[in-house]
Structure 1
Amino acid sequence: MAESGQHVAREGERILVVGPSWVGDMVMAQSLFKTLKARGSGCRIGVVAPTWSRPILERMEEVDEVAGLEVGHGQFGLASRRQLAASLKGRFDRAIVLPRSWKSALVPLMARIPLRTGFTGEQRYGLLNDRRVLDKASLDQTVKRFVSLGLPREEAEAGDFAIPRPSLRLDIDNLVEQRVALGLSSRPAIGMMPGAEYGPAKQWPLDHFRELASALVREGFEVRVLGGPKDVDAGEVISDGLPHIHNLCGRTRLADAVDLLGDCRQVVTNDSGLMHVAAAVGTRVQALFGSSSPAYTPPLTDLAEIHYLDLDCSPCFERICPLGHTNCLKQLAPERVLQAVLATTP
């Protein structure tokens, strides 16, 4: 039998949150953690999360415990889930399940957590006992959906509630070490994030990034190209043969990227996980949107300028442009982004 959904965070409550599997979504989940802490004085928050996300969660003051789940993306991993659930039994009063998949709700059930909240989806009727119906009209942003699951049902369904903004802590000692180890200069830095894990329909052309990077160097900036191992070749296209442009893709840990982004004057980025990281460390963001919508996953900061052409064919939310041209990004000129950077850099 489902609960009434009127649960309000209480003092000292122990809450387990099953976190998402993407960098940007994990950053946005902090808005939920902040909401829970604000409403339940002294509550304790544990987060079930992929091991890669620990460096992000450790930079959130609201997270008291990280329960790493050693399961690859797309894998079921029943044994790993059982082992984790056994370690959590009797330790939490409530669980909030952010992903909408069936398997994501297994750990709270196996851990026998009394109240288990999440959106109805993928036949989760036996797994959740506080099931919410997702109203995409009122909960029109990912971050709103996350925060709503921490609110009483009536308030959540109204869709009119505060969204605390993510704020990741910086490690200044680590930043100093990274600047020396990577051979970075004293020039003011602009970060560039050419990757987008979701697919190429979200990626600004590399030639555009390179043209912009070259112009920024002429204006006296250092350019830091950041991303994972998959972005190394993209970083080379942008930086090859140009001075003061550092291809750091694949050379830094996620924790290092947090600090290096916090040290940048601005970043130019696709709609990606690192875009949300940059916003959460307080760096000004020049956000490039193509196949995705800035209304759905905007950078959660006042220090952002959105570059979006709003063509008739966008947003399509596809991984690869269904029309084969990606004009929503190709027609977004480097000169436009350059002028935006120069106009807002002290």
Structure 2
Amino acid sequence: MAAERILVISPNWIGDAVMAQPLLQLLRQRYPASPIDVLAPPSAAPVWRQMAEVSDVLETPFRHGALQLKERWRYARMLRRRGYARSYVLPNTIKYALIPWLAGIRHRVGYKGESRYGLVNVMHHDDVPPRPMVPFYAALADEPSAPLRKDVPRPRLSVSEEQMRAACGKAGVPAGVPLVVFAPGAEFGSAKRWPPEHFAALAAQVLAQLPDARIALLGGPKDAPVCEEVQAAAGTAAASIHNLAGRTKLDEAVALIGQAAAVVSNDSGLLHVASALNRPVIAIYGPTDPDHAPPFSDIAAALSLRLECSPCRQRECPLGHHLCMRQLEPQSVWQTLQPMLQPAAR
């Protein structure tokens, strides 16, 4: 008899998808013979493909925010034919919980979310205040009544040497030189962005210590303008800065991060990619809580001024001064980054 398949329905955000990866590690331990498939939006699918536990990644055809009930019914019929026995619904919305219910999957695990009684029949309830994201998702591997785990594994991604070589070649990064990755964007809003001139000043300090190094600015198309500001403010250092925002696919960005000597990032999806690849990483927090979604690399630093007004969790600074980011000086970040780069300087 063939092992029963497991379906995991992905969150929409890249960072959340990465932070959900320990759930798959725990499911693999609990159901070692069961293939684990992931249903993910195209924007997050490349991250799931870098997880060893995933058998197949199915990309959702649905528009963001749309119910599309007829389309979900058709898709559920396809899922029914694949023979899933268990599903884990990670988004908190009703429309994603509809899919495994329509597909007739017996065990439908998830959080209450939008009062999803019946659609989710193994229901978990979040604590108040909310838990950090990694244990939040990992708890779904256990029964709702089980005590919270104290030994949740860290998120884990992997990239091959071939992927890294190909990504560096396409990006024009010379082989054998130290690569430092900056992620100056943030999908949530401008409040989460460390100022471009601060990133530019940090780039100058990196290149002063490592003249042969290259700096890659990564992000999506929406991050391209802020990355252009970084490069424009870098002066003579701009020649060693590759602005790749919006010019690389996500799988290529993941491979470039895998090659990096260190990564400096705002609180964004690429931060969690770097952490799951176990790269040395500096995470910069302003309006968000560094304890809610911290980096987990062996070498990692979460920098936050922890001002009285933060974490406000707002897309734009409600006070108009953005001091939580502006007052975090480049020199302070450099003091943390410099020892991370010492192996690359040898």
Specify the SS of the correspondent of 1:337: helix
The residue type paired with residue 279 of structure 2 is T
CA distance in 2, matches of 1:108, 1:161: 30
Superposed CA offset, 1:240-266 (max 9, x none): 352211101111110001110011100
Give the equivalent residue in structure 2 for 1:39: 30
Matched, 1:16 2:7: yes
In the alignment, structure 1 residue 226 sits paired with structure 2 residue 218: yes
1:271 paired to 2:267: yes
Q: TM-score, normalised by structure 2?
A: 0.92
For residue 30 of structure 1, what is the aligned residue in structure 2? 21
**Is the 2:185–2:266 Cα contact (8 Å) retained in structure 1?**
yes
- In the alignment, structure 1 residue 178 sits paired with structure 2 residue 167: yes
Describe the shift of the 1:62–1:103 C-alpha distance in structure 2 as closer, same or farther (beyond 3 A). Answer: same
Alpha-carbon distance, 1:55 to partner = 1.4
Matched residue type, 1:343: P
User: Which stretch of structure 1 is more off in the superposition, 139-148 or 205-214?
Assistant: 139-148
Separation of aligned partners in 2, 1:19 and 1:161? 24
Report SS of the residue matched to 1:118: strand
Could you say what secondary structure the match of 1:26 adopts?
Answer: helix
How many Å apart are 1:13 and its aligned residue? 4.0
Select which of 101, 105, 125 maps to 2:93: 101
Matched, 1:192 2:182: yes
Partner residue in 1 for 2:107: 115
Moved more, 279-288 or 234-243: 234-243
CA RMSD, 1 decimal: 1.6
Following superposition, the deviation at residue 180 of structure 1 comes to: 2.4
Matched with 1:71 is 62
Distance of 1:97 and 1:198 partners within structure 2: 22
1:336 aligns with 2:332: yes
Paired residue for 2:230?
A: 238
Poorly superposed stretches of 4+, deviation over 3 Å: none
- Which amino acid is the alignment partner of residue 149 of structure 1? L
Q: Secondary structure at the match of 2:282?
A: strand
| Partner of residue 130 from structure 1, selected from 122, 144, 150 | 122
Determine whether 1:211 maps to 2:201: yes
* Counterpart residue type for residue 15 of structure 1: I
The structural deviation recorded for 1:237 is 1.3
Q: Which amino acid aligns with 2:249?
A: R
Tell me how far apart the structure 1 counterparts of residues 165 and 57 of structure 2 sit (CA, whole Å): 27
Count of residues in Structure 1 that have an aligned counterpart in Structure 2: 333
Q: Tell me whether 1:314 sits opposite 2:310 in the alignment.
A: yes
Length-normalised TM-score, structure 1: 0.92
| Cα contact 1:279–1:303 (8 A) shared by 2 | no
Residue 50 (structure 1) aligned with residue 46 (structure 2): no
- CA–CA separation in structure 1 for the residues paired with 2:71 and 2:298: 41
- Which residue identity does 2:87 align to in structure 1? A
Q: Given that residues 278 and 296 in structure 2 are in contact (C-alpha distance below 8 angstroms), is that contact kept between their aligned partners in structure 1? A: no
Report the equivalent of 1:5: none
